[in-house]
């Protein structure tokens, strides 16, 4: 099964982002509001037998980790504006805490191999071709002015991901609360 560890976005913020995407005609394949999350650690294909040990690792690793506030502001693209493939919302407050949380989790999982350094970002759309770029240019002109609010990160979730043509289906496999 395909697994990843993430922070879900607060429902109010997810609704705000969803409405903003609609109003601004965000190009590409948009991430559904119920799927908005920060990936902390992508584990890829793992046997179902790993679930229990991953739950234990997360529970132990996060037992003293405090909840924190994340603010969402500004837009970014990956890999670069001249070749946009991913449109994301950037992190203001809470960026360092997100980086530390991802590092804490990735170091605790013995089989995890970090392929590239963690960059906190909230993917909102995937762009397939450059025909979508003109719509992106309009957003990009005001990229630093967008603000989507803030929320308190209170739990880390181990998800399985079932990829389908209609979009992925994420199923929580373990929920680990952060200390309030």
- The residues assigned a catalytic role are 37, 121
**CB atoms closer than 10 angstroms to residue 47:** 8
Contact 158, 172 (CB under 8 A): yes
Closest CA to 178 of 70, 19, 25, 82: 70
């Amino acid at each position: 099964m395909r697994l990843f560890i993430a922070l879900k976005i607060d429902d109010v913020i997810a609704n705000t982002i969803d409405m903003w995407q609609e109003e601004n005609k965000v190009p590409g394949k948009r991430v559904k509001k119920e799927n908005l999350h920060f990936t902390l650690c992508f584990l890829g294909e793992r046997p179902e037998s790993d679930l229990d040990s991953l739950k234990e690792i997360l529970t132990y690793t996060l037992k003293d980790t405090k909840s924190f506030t994340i603010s969402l502001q500004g837009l970014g693209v990956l890999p670069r504006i001249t070749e946009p493939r991913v449109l994301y919302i950037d992190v203001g407050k809470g960026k360092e805490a997100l980086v530390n949380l991802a590092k804490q989790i990735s170091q605790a999982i013995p089989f995890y191999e970090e392929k590239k350094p963690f960059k906190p970002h909230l993917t909102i759309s995937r762009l397939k071709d450059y025909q979508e770029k003109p719509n992106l240019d309009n957003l990009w002109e005001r990229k630093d002015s967008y603000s989507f609010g803030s929320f308190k990160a209170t739990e880390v979730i181990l998800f399985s991901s079932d990829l389908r043509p209609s979009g992925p289906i994420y199923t929580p496999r373990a929920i680990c609360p952060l200390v309030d």
